[in-house]
Structure 1
Amino acid sequence: SRGSAGKLLPLSPRPLISGKQANSSPAPVRAQRALANPRDPPSSAAPEPRTRGPSGCRCRQSLLRVSVGGAAQARRRALPPSGAGRSRGGVLPPSGWRAGEEGTEYYLVKWKGWPESSNTWEPQKNLKCPLLLQNFLSDKNEYLSRVREGKALKVRNHVKALNPVVADYIVKKAKQRIALQRWKEELNRKKNHKAMILVENTVDLEGPPLDFYYINEYKPAPGINVINGITTGCECTDCPAEKCCPKEAGFILAYNKQKKLKIQPGLPIYECNSFCRCGPDCPNRIVQKGTPYSLCIFRTNNGRGWGVKTLQKIKTNSFVMEYVGEVITSEEAERRGQLYDNQGNTYLFDLDYDSDEFTVDAARYGNVSHFVNHSVRPCFVH
């Protein structure tokens, strides 16, 4: 009979195909015959001398390694159910045994003198060397204990072993991620609308802007008193059908039934206010509710700094956001404008419809609109 020494070897990754034989050759068939009847060696294989196995035991089975946990190539012998224990990526992890039909334990066997392609899944009853199996299970338990201990290691211990440049980048990226997360939470605490604000930077290590303050409404500069001239409201119960606020001012309702803008650019928008009889669901209350769309402040990859992108489809003529900032006089706007021109940025927009007495500056105070960039293909109108 054929007898050879058996010993436990470390697992080596290999691709596996469940239900198919990757390489068709007579070698796997001979390996199966050797297993089916250990006393009958393969017809083309020369018998090997009997040698001692682990700890001096005589191992009749031509077995070098016992491993488990992956899917095996199909053989002519009975194998576990198709797909059972299938490993991701075709790698055989040393994860213990696997159960086949009726709870049978199967082990992946590497046969001495045969290539990896001849490995077979075998039930425990076909393993003829108990000591070899015992050593395998002992090594497996030791491996799993090391894995569990490794999960408790702190990341900084691994960073120290990295290249200094790589380690420095990892540390800075981690700090940036924390800073951007805190900034996102701050923005969502301060916003006055239901839609979410997200922050994203997959380009560089730039963190939140240091000299920017989020606001929801216009912020008058020192010395400027903004007087709300609205003292009356409509008595409508159905604003689109009645003589509502816009009609009182000599204009038409700015929105259609789908809450989309229907007037031409340059015309003023008169919305219902706190003095009006209509409720919050009035179709003439759009801008005052804030943006209904979730927006993401993201770092552009073309050197333009921060930008804004939508996270959902926005139809034409839909209200997106209001441009708010610090309200300043036109004289102060001229002075700041010269500074912004030298920096290559501008955040100034005239505030009034029929005069340019005041200007809104969103350089330091503003909302998401502060981060909207100019585009060669603009999709916004203001």
Structure 2
Amino acid sequence: MQLSLKVAMCHELVNSCGLDLSSGLESVPVWIEGKVGKDELPKFQYFPDNVKGPGCTVDPSEVTLPGCSCLSHSCVAGSCCCLQTYGQAYDSAGTLLDLRGSHAAYCTPVFECNALCSCGDACSNRVVQRGLRLRLEVYGTKEKGWGVRTLEPIPCGTFVCEYAGEVIGFDEAKRRQLAQGPEENNYIIAVREHAGQGPITETFVDPAIVGNVGRFLNHSCLPNLFMVPVRVHSTVPRLALFAGRDIEAQEELTFDYAGGYSNPTPLELSIQASRTDALQRKPCHCGAQNCAQFLPLDVSILNF
């Protein structure tokens, strides 16, 4: 299905329960705070997955990874080539097993079963690809603009949402950042993956024009979410956000734009992520005791 047929402007769907930001594109509605009017909503196209943007050489929707031949209800490590090759990432309930997070810019990559696998949709190695399953609400914060809070408790290790948008090339990411004014928000996440002594993989995701609920997540120096690159059908990683601790209902959901988290670190892969707000550093209003006072600004990836 073409993107133009599936994507809807965020203000199009209103029902008796409120406004669904996703216009029905998610499995559960993404609610907008009730007092927010349609004219106040940001103008962007909601889409739950990554889409190919300028400079992207691989279509994120293209199936490029091999699949397993498992015929069981759920794959098991003893017989599944996916789990044998990449390791088991989730328990039987779909909770992330490695909760060490991405402290000091390190985390372990995840490979899920994909469209070429013979296992069923209920396989425990299919989590991020199932999409949003939690009730989230976009709301207006006092000092940080838009934010996202959960309407239900979230156990530690649970997949929350993706940070999805246009996957763009380095030159396009550089052009977009340089073109922004001092009052404009920059949503670009730049992820650099180091796999041992192999090549470095860089991915740039920008949800400013086309994106999902992840574009509204605020930065915190003491976040409750951490980011993990998850590969499903394509070699292009999906930037998945997991709960780093138990999260209570009505809590704001946040992650560290610099990619850090307060957990010990593995060595298999490093992920360095930066989401900066234009080229001028802006104050951080996260309120954490360890607040760095400014939002992260990492120029080493974009190399301005």
Distance 1:246 1:276, change over 3 A: closer
Q: Match of 2:207? A: 362
| Identical counterparts, % of pairs | 31
Residue number in structure 2 paired with 1:342 = 182
8 Å Cα contact 2:75-2:123 kept in structure 1: yes
Per the alignment, residue 199 of structure 1 pairs with 32
8 Å contact kept, 1:246–1:269? no
Distance in 2 between residues matched to 1:363 and 1:331, nearest whole Å:
17
Counterparts of 1:115-126 in structure 2, within 5 Å, are none
Indicate the residue corresponding to 1:257 in structure 2: 92
State how far apart, in whole Å, the 1-side matches of 2:33 and 2:112 are.
Answer: 34
**Is the 8 Å Cα contact of residues 201 and 299 (structure 1) preserved in structure 2?**
no
List gaps (5 residues or longer) in structure 1. 1-177
- Does residue 220 in structure 1 map to residue 52 in structure 2? yes
Query: Which secondary structure does the structure 1 equivalent of 2:40 belong to?
Result: coil
Letter in 2 for 1:291: L
Give the direction of change, closer, same or farther, for the CA distance of 1:203–1:235 in structure 2 (3 Å limit): closer
Query: Is residue 268–residue 353 contact of structure 1 (8 Å, CA) maintained in 2?
Result: no
d(CA) in 2 for partners of 1:205 and 1:219?
25
Q: Distance in 2 between matches of 1:277 and 1:189?
A: 28
Q: Which has the larger radius of gyration?
A: 1
Where is the strand percentage greater, Structure 1 or Structure 2?
2
Is contact 2:163-2:212 (8 Å) kept?
yes
Aligned-residue offset at 1:228: 3.2
Could you list the per-position Cα deviations for residues 78-136 of structure 1 after superposition, in whole angstroms to 9, with x for gaps in the alignment?
A: xxxxxxxxxxxxxxxxxxxxxxxxxxxxxxxxxxxxxxxxxxxxxxxxxxxxxxxxxxx
TM-aligned CA deviation for residue 286 of structure 1 = 0.5
CA distance in 1, matches of 2:115, 2:36: 45
- Which amino acid is the alignment partner of residue 271 of structure 1? E
Letter in 1 for 2:133: P
Change (3 A) 1:349 1:244: farther
- Give the secondary-structure state (helix, strand or coil) at the position aligned to 2:205: strand
- Which of 83, 95, 104 is residue 247 of structure 1 equivalent to? 83
Secondary structure at the counterpart of residue 19 of structure 2: helix
Residues 247 and 253, structure 1, Cα contact 8 Å, conserved in 2: yes
Shift in CA distance, 277/205, structure 1 to aligned 2, threshold 3 Å? closer
Amino acid at match of 1:262: L
Do the aligned residues in 1 keep the contact of 2:63 with 2:115 (CA within 8 Å)? no
Listed as ranges, the matches of 1:5-154 within 5 Å are: none
SS at match of 2:224: coil
List per-residue Cα deviations over 1:183-235 (Å, max 9, x = no partner).
924623222x2x2211115489961112x110121111145342532243242
Match of 2:172 among 332, 341, 365: 332
Q: Which residue of 2 aligns with 1:229?
A: 64
- Counterpart of 1:20? none
- Identify which of 279, 287, 299 aligns with 2:128: 287
Q: Which residue of 1 aligns with 2:283?
A: none
Alpha carbons 1:324, 1:367 under 8 Å: kept: yes
C-alpha distance in 2, partners of 1:276/1:330? 32
| TM-score after normalising by structure 2 | 0.58
Say if 1:368 and 1:356 are closer, same or farther in 2 by CA, change over 3 A: same
Q: Secondary structure at the match of 2:182?
A: helix
SS state of the match for residue 307, structure 1? strand
Aligned to 1:268: 109
Count of equivalent residues: 200
Gaps of 5+ in 2: 1-10, 102-106, 195-199, 228-304
Which has the larger share of helix? 1
Q: Which protein, 1 or 2, shows the higher relative CO under an 8 Å CA cutoff with sep ≥ 6?
A: 2
Task: Tell me how far 1:358 sits from its aligned partner.
Answer: 3.2
In 2, Cα distance between equivalents of 1:279 and 1:255 = 16
> Deviation string for 1:288-334 (max 9, x for gaps)?
0012101111111x131111111100011110001110010012212
1:180/1:199 contact within 8 Å kept: no
* Equivalent residue, structure 2, for 1:322: 162
Note if contact 1:240-1:283 (Cα within 8 Å) is conserved in structure 2.
Answer: no
Match among 11, 29, 41 for residue 208 of structure 1: 41
